[in-house]
Structure 1
């Protein structure tokens, strides 16, 4: 039986597949985004693999596109739902926004939050309801009450289904939840990103019936083991800019891949499936959203839902994680500028 999770919106409890689908890589490329044909085939394959009545959690973004077309992700989704209207009822669409128009500059003001939500709705062209909206980061210059207050009005008016938060500490999540019920919180969780911050958010979310949307559960593909050296990363791949992939750090960080791969081999699953299953095991309210722009990779990721980890399996994985040492920051450049753990 397919494992599921529940997203509790103000109007209903939505049953989604325990593993969702991150769509960023489809359109945010150094070079041209993937073709509609490839994107559509990938999304459809994932949704079609689910039982009737279980929705796929799709995660998109207002700014998931190249500099000259930042709304590429939304435009692609609009075309998808226009071509396949039956899939509107089979999917739960979450979109991150909250940056200035056509910029990746954070602005949580009431005016820009209003602009961002309206822009997302406009780009979707009525082809799919915005089930959940989340500001990508918390703007430290703007009171949380102002930002969430605007989003609460959109929920009240029925223009969005629910509110999410992203890259926040447990304390911030609880503050936001007091202003208006938060349906989901999105944070990075994987075998190489599971520290006190993640654990606190997961616990607080559990206690308050908030879903945890876990992005990059395979460490941006690093933990899949398919990239064995820096040179394996295509020159047009954004991961070349992430510190943990840099040549000076790559080999040191690869030790955890070797150890997880050995455990995965014993279970006859892929390292990616093992990582996804481990993240999923952290709670029945957790929805890993591995990103993929390929049909075969998406189906492999979703098959992680069928991986059952025994107590001994979890002990082995946890021992690897507890003894691992990682070199390099989560994001390129100034980590404060990335507004992590707002």
Structure 2
């Protein structure tokens, strides 16, 4: 079991985005039950952000209410929060004054109900000297107001540069059968070399690997995935074929396609030179959170079969559209 900010982390974590970044946030009773189920399944690495929703209804306002009701869970959870967003813009600023404001805003939203175990800028800011950004976050680590500094959406060179200035607690990047880029671009290898855990978001390909959707009509009208290229009509049917293939493997194994996809992401940490990898699937129901939290182990033959499936089903469309 990996240790992050001096706390033991489960082999699978939990991504909170889908609870609040939607036309109507998931109601508290359902959200609380889902979060509780994730924690009870051992998924104690939680990933959140104040921009997952509105200023009034986002991950952190939800966490405030959850830990008000379940204060005993606060110390069980490793909370990683990403921010640095310039209000009203799709832009991240690493300027010292802005980062201080961002961290203070997050702490205010949590209101002492939960510590900020990891704070990370959602992206690196090319317009601000890296040392200014890192030194600002390090001030809060030294003061005990955040447990550690995380990174998000970074290159191998950026990981090294940040780690040189201050130890990096974790690196959050996308990893799935449809987005395996970090396995080839040096990010995973660099984290392995430096001993930095990877927090792997979207391990289910934003749902495409669950064998539950095949066309845009399968999504709710207000679903934010309609904006993503891989969910456009001309791409989605092709991209859903991977999930259909996983369904066959899962049926033979007696588990779900999602569990197979998560297990594939986790399996890379067993290879030489690779870091600890903690997938953080999201879910909006307790049943799904429990299922995702049940880790399965893949045999060498199953991994070979999945790799063959991956080679035959390259994702069509970019991860994100224009901002």
TM-score for both structures, normalised by structure 1 = 0.89
Structure 1 counterpart of 2:45, from 21, 46, 57? 57
**Partner SS for 2:167:** coil
Give ranges in structure 2 of 5+ residues lacking alignment: 271-275
Mapped contact 1:63–1:102 kept (Cα < 8 A): no
**Partner SS for 2:189:** helix
The structural deviation recorded for 1:229 is 1.8
Mapped contact 1:64–1:70 kept (Cα < 8 A): no
Task: Tell me: CA distance 1:113–1:71, structure 2 relative to 1, closer, same or farther (3 Å).
Answer: farther
Report 1:264-303 matches (<5 A).
264-283=250-269, 285-303=276-294
Deviation digits for residues 141-191 of structure 1 (CA, Å, limit 9, x no counterpart): 112111111111110111100000000011111110001000100000000
Deviation digits for residues 48-90 of structure 1 (CA, Å, limit 9, x no counterpart): 233xxxx700110021104xx3652211101111111100111
Task: Tell me: CA distance 1:49–1:259, structure 2 relative to 1, closer, same or farther (3 Å).
Answer: closer
The structural deviation recorded for 1:212 is 0.1
Structure 2 counterpart of 1:16, from 5, 9, 18? 9
Structure 1 counterpart of 2:3, from 6, 14, 33? 6
User: How many pairs does the alignment contain?
Assistant: 318
1:217 matched to 2:209? The reply is no
Partner Cα separation in structure 2 for residue 228 and residue 84 of structure 1: 38
1:118 matched to 2:118? The reply is no
Report 1:1-342 matches (<5 A).
4-7=1-4, 9=5, 12=6, 14-29=7-22, 31-50=23-42, 56-66=44-54, 69=55, 72-101=58-87, 103-195=89-181, 200-283=186-269, 285-303=276-294, 305=295, 307-333=296-322
Q: CA RMSD in A?
A: 1.5
Partner Cα separation in structure 2 for residue 116 and residue 135 of structure 1: 10
Mapped contact 2:204–2:210 kept (Cα < 8 A): yes
Deviation digits for residues 111-132 of structure 1 (CA, Å, limit 9, x no counterpart): 1111101100011000100000
Mapped contact 1:60–1:93 kept (Cα < 8 A): yes
Deviation digits for residues 191-213 of structure 1 (CA, Å, limit 9, x no counterpart): 00002566511111111111100
Partner Cα separation in structure 1 for residue 258 and residue 29 of structure 2: 25
**Partner SS for 1:213:** strand
**Partner SS for 2:47:** strand
Partner Cα separation in structure 2 for residue 60 and residue 312 of structure 1: 36
Structure 1 runs (4+) deviating above 4 angstroms are 196-199
Task: Tell me: CA distance 1:71–1:120, structure 2 relative to 1, closer, same or farther (3 Å).
Answer: farther
Partner Cα separation in structure 1 for residue 319 and residue 105 of structure 2: 29
**Partner SS for 1:158:** coil
TM-score for both structures, normalised by structure 2 = 0.94
